[in-house]
Structure 1
Amino acid sequence: MLASGQEQPSSSHRPVGRWPLPMSGFVDALEHLPDAVSVSAALRNDAGQAVDMRVEYMNKAARSGQPNPGAAIGGLCSQLWPQMVDNGSFAACMRVLNTGVSESGAFVWTQDATYRPADYEYQALRIGDNRLLWVLRDNSARVLRAELLAAVTTELASAAETDEVLRTLTTQIMPAVGATAGGAVLNEPDSNTYVVRHIHDAEEGPRPPVPFSVNAPYPMAHTARTGQPLYFSTSAERGEAFPEAAPFFTDRHQSTAVLPLQTSSTLLGAVSFHFAIRHPFDAAERAFLTALVDHCAQAVERIRLRATLDKAHAQLQVLADLGRLLPTSLDTSTTFDNIVEAVVPRIADGCVIHLVDRTGQPALATVRHHDADQEESLRSLLHRFPPQLDAAGGIGAVIRTGEHELVTNVPGTLDQLARSTEHRAALRRLVPAASWLAVPMAHTGSVIGSMVLMQSATASALFTPADVPFAQELAQRATQAVINARRYAEQRDVAHTLQASLLPGELPSLPGMELAACYHPGAEGTLVGGDFYDIVPTGKDTWMIAIGDVCGKGPHAAALTGLVRHTARAAARADDHPAAVLQAINTAVLAESQQPRFCTAAYARLHLGRHTATLTLTLGGHPRPLLRHANGQITALGQAGTLLGVVPTPRLHTITYPLHPGDLLLFYTDGVTERRAPDRMLGEEGIRHVLHATRNGSAQDVIAALEQAIIDFTPRPLDDDFAVMALCLL
C-alpha cells in the first residue's frame, strides 16, 4: 500500500490485464446511476500484492465531485484521495483486489476539494483479476432529513402566530430542501377567503401577502381547493396539466411539488415547492415533503385552536367582569364606562355606544379607543355628523332595523355612508379600520341604542360571524345588568365544542375487531377536560391507539391536548413505534409549555392478522390497560413509565403482547380509578368487577356498564372527567 511520502510504483507496478466486460452497455448503465462509480486498475508489487490503483473510468456522478475530472483519469487513487488512506477505505480496496472478496463500509468525507463533505457508504468489488469497481453513495440525505424534521418540529412547537409557522416554512424548510421558490396559500379563519401569505424566492426575497382565488387554473389553487397533492418532475408535465399557469414560471421552476396544507379534518390551503433542477419526487422525497407540510398544518391548526380558545376565554372573561361590575352601579354613564374599559383593548381596538334620546334620535353615550388621538377624532366626527335613522347602513340602520351589521370592506362602506363632500373628507381622515361590528341594544323588544366594536388595520384578526353572538350578549348586558345565565350557557357551548374537536368524531371500523369508547365530562362548570382518546390507521393492517390525560382544565389544557393528539398523529407518520411517539409527545410538551405542564399517555400499535392481533404498548405515566382473556382471566399490561413533559428523556418501557379471539382490551384514564366516595375509591378493583360481570358481553356492553358503575359509585357529581376505550378481537 502506498502511504504518504513513498516513492511512485516502479515499472513492475503497472496495470495488468484487460477490462473483461462489454464496454458500451456497461458504461451507459453506470453513467445514469446517482451514485459515484469509478473503475481502477490494480498496481501490484513484485510479490503480486496490490499496492495502489490507477483510475481508468469515472461516471457522471463521480466526475461531478472532481475539480478537474480529466486529470483524475490515469491518476493514482492514493494521491487523488489521500483521505481514503486515512479512513481505511483504501486498505479495504487493496484487500478486495488481493482476495476477490467484496467489502463495504462507511465514513465521513471531509476532503472538500473533491466530494461534498458528508456521510458516505461505499462498496468495493473486484472485476476480473485486476480491476476494482468502487461505488460511493451519499448517505447524508436521510440524516439531513431527520435533522431538519427534528429542527422544524422544535421550531413549530414554539410558534405562537401563524406568520411564525409560515416564516419557518418559507425561510427554513424551503431553502433546506433545495427549493428556489415556493409559496403558501392559507384561508382566513372562519371564511372562504384565501391569501398568499408568504412567498419564498431565493433571488427576489419574500413578497407581501396578496388575495388568491382557489378557482384559478393554477396548481396551488387546485390543491388548495381539492386537497390533492401534485408532483411535476418537468416543466412540460406542469405546462400540460396547467397551461394557463405557464407564464408564471421561469427556468428556475423545472420541477414542482404542491402539497395540501391540511390536518385530518381541515383543509387550510396549499404549499408549493419549485426546484431549479429536475426532481423525480421518489416515494421517500414525497413522504418527507408531506411530513414537513403536515407539521406546519398541525402547528397552524394548533395556533388557531389556541387563538379561538384565547378569544373565547377573553370574551367570557369580559362578560364575567361585567357581571361583577354592572350591578355595582345604576348610573348609565358609569355602566357604559365599565363596558368600554372591559372591551378595549382586550376584545376590540375601539368601542362606540349610542342611546336613543327623548327625540328618538341616536345620541353618543361613550366612545373609547386604544389610540387617544383616534378616540378624539371619533368623538369629534360623531358630534359633527351624528348617525341618522334613515341611513342605508351604519349605526342609524342598526337602530332602525334591529339587525346587526358586520363590515369588512371599510373604505367602500364609508363612501356609501358619507352624506356630503365634507363628511366624506372627515371619514377619510380617520385611521383606517379593518372591520367593525355594530349590534342593536334591545330591551323588552324595543331597540334603545347600538354598540359598535372596531378593529384597526393592524389587528391580528378581523371580526367574523362567529363574533356576532358575543357582541349581542355584550350589548344585552349594557341594557340589562344581570344575565349571568347566558354567560354560563355560552361557556358550556364553547367547552362542548372544543372538547368534541379533541375526540374522534366516530370510531373506525377494524376488520375482526369490535370497538367502543366514551368520554364523560367532569362536574358542571368545568371548561374543557384534559382526557382524550384516538385511533387512526398507520399502515396496512396497523392502527395507532392512544389515550391520555393532560393536567389541568380549561382552554390551555385543551390547547395542550390538541398538541399532544396532533403530535402523536404526526410522529406516527414517520415512526409508529409507541416509544418513539411518546418521546415526540414529551419533546413537544416540553417545548410548548410556558409553565410546568405534563400529561400521561398510553400509546399502542395494533397489528391485525388473520385470526390474531399483536399489541405493542408503551405507557408514559398512564394507568395500565386491562386485558380480559377469552377464559375470563384479567391481566394488567405494561409498565407505567415516566410522566410526559417533565424530563427530556422519560423512562419508557415497551411490551409486545398477542391478542386472541375473545380477548377484550380496556384502556382508561385515572378519572375512573379515582372516582371517590367518602371512604373509598373505585380503583382498579372496581374495573375488574365490571369486566367479570360483563364476561359474555360485547365491547359496547363493557363500556356502558363501566360508565354506569362510575356514575353510580357515589351520589356526588363527578370530580374529574374520564375516558374509556374497549377493543374486542372477534
Structure 2
Amino acid sequence: MDGQTVSATFPSAAESVADARRFVRTVLTDWGMPAAVDDAVLATSELATNAVTYAGTSFEVCCARQGDEVRIEVRDLHPTRAPEMPGINATSGRGLPSIARLATAWGVTYDRRTKGIWFRIPAGGGQDLPVPRLKDAGRSRRRAAPKPAETDPAAPATALTIAGDRLLRSPAAREALEDAAASAREALKADAAAVLLTERDGTLVVGAATGLPLDAPAGAPSVVDLGPEARAGRAWITADAADPLAAALHARSLAAAPLDAEGRLTGFLVATAAVPDRFSDADGVRLGRLAGELSLALEKARIGELERSWRGWLSFVAEASDLLAGTLDQERTMALVAQLVVPRLATWCAIYSAGDGDPGRLAYVWHADENRADALRDLLTRAGTVPEPEAPGPWNALADAPDAVRAAARETADDVAHAFPLIARGRRIGSLVIGRPPGDRFPRSAIELAEELSRRAALAVDNARLYSEQTTMSSALQRSLLPPGIPDIPGLEVAVVYEPAGEGHEVGGDFYDVFPSGDQPAVPARWRFAIGDVCGTGPEAAAVTGLARHALRILAAEDMTVPDVLTRLNRLILGEGERARLLTLLHGEITPRPRRDGVSITLTSAGHPPPLVLDPDGNVHEAAGPQPLLGVFDGVDFHTDAVELRSGQVLLCVTDGVTERRSGARLLGDGQGLERLLAGCTGLSAGAVAARIQRAVRDFGPEPSNDDVALIVLRAS
C-alpha cells in the first residue's frame, strides 16, 4: 500500500471545493486513515479555495501514501501566482498559516505550466497547535501546545473562568476574528486592533490583528497579569503605557473588552493608539458591543468545533438540542436533561435549581436503576452541601451524609460525582451533578460532553423559567382586563366566551364587560355591556384595553349616554398619541321591560362586526348599522340603534376572531356563515348558544386560531 497515489481533476468553480473535500475524505477512509481525515479535508479545502479564488484555473488533487503519513498536493495552472504568508496585520489570506499548523511539513513546487502546494499529515491526524504568541508575530512555526500551568495560590482570582479552548480552526471562526479586528479599528479610528485569545494556561495569543507592529515584544501577558477590570470581565480604557497589554502592543492608549462566552473568558478585543488619551468611555462601550457580537460568533464556532471533534456523539447532541427546544415546561426540561445524561454519560444525574439569594435545592433526580432513585434522592438531600461550582469539577459531598442514610443507599454512597454549573445569561441558576460507581471513572469525553450539555440545559431551563414567569404575568394581566363576574339581569340570560390566541404567554387584544349602570349600582335599573377588539396583542394592546374597560365603567357611572361614552373614549385614545391602538367596540345599554317582558337595548357598533338577533322562528337579522371605529378621527358623532329583545330572542355579539376564523381561503363569516350557524341554535339557552358557537369556531379550521375570540350572548327569558 505504501507509495499508492490517487488523483482527480476539478474545474474552477465554487462547488469544486466541496467535491475536492469529498474526494480526499473518500480516499483516506478507503486507506484506513480516519484519524487524519478532518485535518486533511480542512487543509485541502483551504488550498482548493485558493486555487479557485486566486489562480482561477482547474486544479488537481493528488493523494499519496508515504509510510505512516499521507501527502496531499493541490496543483493549479497558474505558476506565476506565488503564495504569500500574511503578516500579523493582514485581515485575510490566513489559509497557509492554518496548513502550517496542521501539517508536519508543507511546501510549494513549480514547473513551467503549473504550481503545486503540498502538505503531509500523519495517519493519526495532525496536532492541535495555537497561532504564534505576540513574540512570534510575523512568523509561523510549529510548537507543542502549552501544558496547563500550576495554579499559583498567590495569583489574584479571575471572575471569569479561562476558556481553555484550542484555537478554533473553522473558516467561520477565522473570518469572525478578522472581521472583528477590522471593525474595532474602524469604529474607534484606532491605529491598530487585535483579537487576543486565551490558552489553557491563561496566556494570550493573537487570533487576528490589523495594524499591529511586527516587532511586538516578547513576554505576552497572561490574564492574571492584567488589571482587576480584565479579571472581572469588564471593559477598560487606559493611557498608561505600563499596562501589560499596552506595553505588549507598543500602545500609549488602549481600549479593551473581554470576550465572555457563558461565563468563560475566551480572550479580549483590543484597540490601540500611539498617542495618549486617545479613547473615551464611549469608545469602551462601543468596543464592548463589538466584543459581545464576537463572543457569540466564537461561541457558535467553538460549539461547531466541539461537535466536529465529537463525531461519535453528534447524534446525541442533536437529539438533546431538539428535545430541550421542544418544551417550555421547567420541570419537564429538567427531567429531559437527566434522562439524556443517564445512562449515556453517567449512572445517575441530579439537578439543583438556585435563585436570587437561594444557594439551591434538589429539583430532580434520576438513576439508571429506578429502585435506587429514592435512596439516592435521600442521600443527596441529607448530604448537607448544595453544589455551587464555579467551574466543572469533582464533587465529594456524598461522604457527608449521615451513616444511616449512606447505609440505606448502599454502594451508591461511594459513587464518584462530578458537578457542573448551570449558567444562563450571566448568572448561575443551579448545578448539574452526574455520578458513576467508584471504580468507573469519568472519561474526558464524557466530562466535555456533559459540560456542553450543561450549557444547553442551563439555557433551556432558564428559557422555561422565563416563559413560565411571562405566562404567569400575562395571565394575571389578562384576568385584570376581564370582569370579575357577570351580574344577574332580570329577564335576561347572559353567557360569555373568551379565548386568547397563542399559548397563554401574550395578552390578547379582545375584551368584554357586563356591569350595572347609573349612579346607584347597588339597586341598578340599567346595565351596560361592551365587547371590543384592540388592534394587536401584548402590553401595548393591553394598555388600550385597560383604558377602554375602566373608562366605560367610570363614564357609565356618570350617567353618560352610550354615544357620549364612545365620543369621550375616542378622545382618550387619540390623546395617547403614538401609543394609541385602533379599537372596534360594540357598546350598549340594557333596560328591563315591565312585567319581565324581555329587555330594551340601545347600542352602538363602532367599527365592530354587527350584532345579530335570532328570532324564535330561526330568522336572523342584524341589530345595528356600522359606525366609525375608535382612535382614527376626532369629532365623530355616534348614535344608537334600538333593539326590543322579546322572550326567546337571542342577541349575539362577537369579535372578528369568530367571523374571520380561517380554513384555507375561506372565512367562517363568508356567505352569511355566522348567520346560518346562529340560525341552527334556535330554542337553545344562552349558555348553549355560546358553547355551540365556540365549538364551531374551533372546528372550522384544522389549525389553531391565530386571533382572540370573544362573544356575548344575551337571551330574553
- Please classify the TM superposition score into its range, dividing by the shorter chain length: 0.3 to 0.5
TM-score, structure 2 as length reference: 0.38
TM-score, structure 1 as length reference: 0.37
